[in-house]
Amino acid sequence: MMRRKSWQKNLKIAVAALLIIYAVEHILTMNVYLRKPMLFSPLFRVYNQSGSEPHCPSVRLSTRVLPQIALASYPGSGNTWVRHLLQQMTGIATGSIYNDEQLRHNGFPGESLSNGSVVAVKTHNHYAGKDYARAILLIRNPYESMLSLFKLANSNHTGEPSVDRYGKQWGTFTEERIRGYIPLFASWIKLQDVLPIFYDALKQNLTRELVRIKAFLGQSGIKGDVRCALRDSEGHFHRKETGITLEFFYSKKQRMAVNSVIDQMQKMFKDRFENIREDMDTWKL
């Protein structure tokens, strides 16, 4: 009798395990089918259909001359992260009109280069009607980008400035930066061949946005493998979350000014691009 009960118990455990496995596989399958956001864990590895890992070459300069593609953004919008994703996906270094030694020696061998040897060139400058035939335009909530830029200017790529920095200096900083947000994007959307990429969309559905970027680069004959970017999607220059809400940093007057900027941005992008998914109203404080 005891042996029969033990056998029945083991059978129930086995059936329960099979049901759990089936449920997980079903969720993953439906997630891919519906193209919904999915969190990637280090426990998951990316394989191709044959079961082998994708071939992801180390980052290098291009051996052929590539078209000039800008990676344009307002400072503090996650440009370094997107550069990392582009490099992982294509195996080709990204360039920059700037010369950041910290980046050059930590995974960005194309830093300071803005020629045909790099897949895209980082710039925070306005579009001047020359130099670039195409552009990837990265857009982030101005509340987040201005705060991120302030931290970079007063610390480094991953650090936090001391509390005393958030005094009068912060107020002057935001006033100056708010004035420059709209003109930057207004200049770049004049370019005929531009791909808008939203920072929040990258965080919510990285696979979908990488597929969009890959298709855009493919039009210039640049190949890439999205799986290579997914395999190492974080990079080394993410700033740690402090847990402090954005409301803490912005006064009522500053919020009114930034919310007005957001309204202008939303109208400008809807007039220029079709099928903009980002609801910029959700950015407001």
DSSP 160: -
Average pLDDT over residues 240-254: 80
Name the residue with tokens 């300071």: 112
pLDDT at 1 over 80: no
- Residues 2-19 have pLDDT tens digits of 455 555 555 455 445 444
- Residues 51-61 have pLDDT tens digits of 467 889 899 99
pLDDT of residue 8: 54
| Of residues 186, 190, 204, the one with CA closest to residue 265 | 186
- Residues 170-218 have pLDDT tens digits of 878 888 888 999 999 999 999 999 999 999 999 999 999 999 999 999 9
pLDDT of residue 176: 86
How many angstroms separate the CA atoms of 96 and 107, rounded? 13
How many angstroms separate the CA atoms of 241 and 160, rounded? 10
Domains of the chain: 69-240 (3.40.50.300)
121-123 and 95-96: which strand pairing? parallel
How many angstroms separate the CA atoms of 141 and 201, rounded? 11
pTM of the shown model: 0.77
Where does the chain have alpha helices with state H? 2-34, 79-90, 101-104, 142-154, 168-188, 199-204, 206-218, 226-231, 252-272
How many angstroms separate the CA atoms of 136 and 140, rounded? 13
Quote the mean pLDDT of the chain: 81
Distance of CA 229 to the CA centre of its chain: 11
87: three-class secondary structure by DSSP: helix
DSSP 41: -
What residues have CB less than 8 Å from 142, skipping those under 6 apart? 74, 178, 181, 258, 261, 262, 265, 283
pLDDT of residue 82: 97
Distance of CA 266 to the CA centre of its chain: 19
> Which of 93-97, 103-107, 215-219, 220-224 is predicted least confidently?
103-107
Both tokens of residue 119? 């897949």
Distance of CA 19 to the CA centre of its chain: 36
> Which of 10-14, 38-42, 69-73 is predicted least confidently?
38-42
8 A C-beta contact, residue 199 and residue 143: no
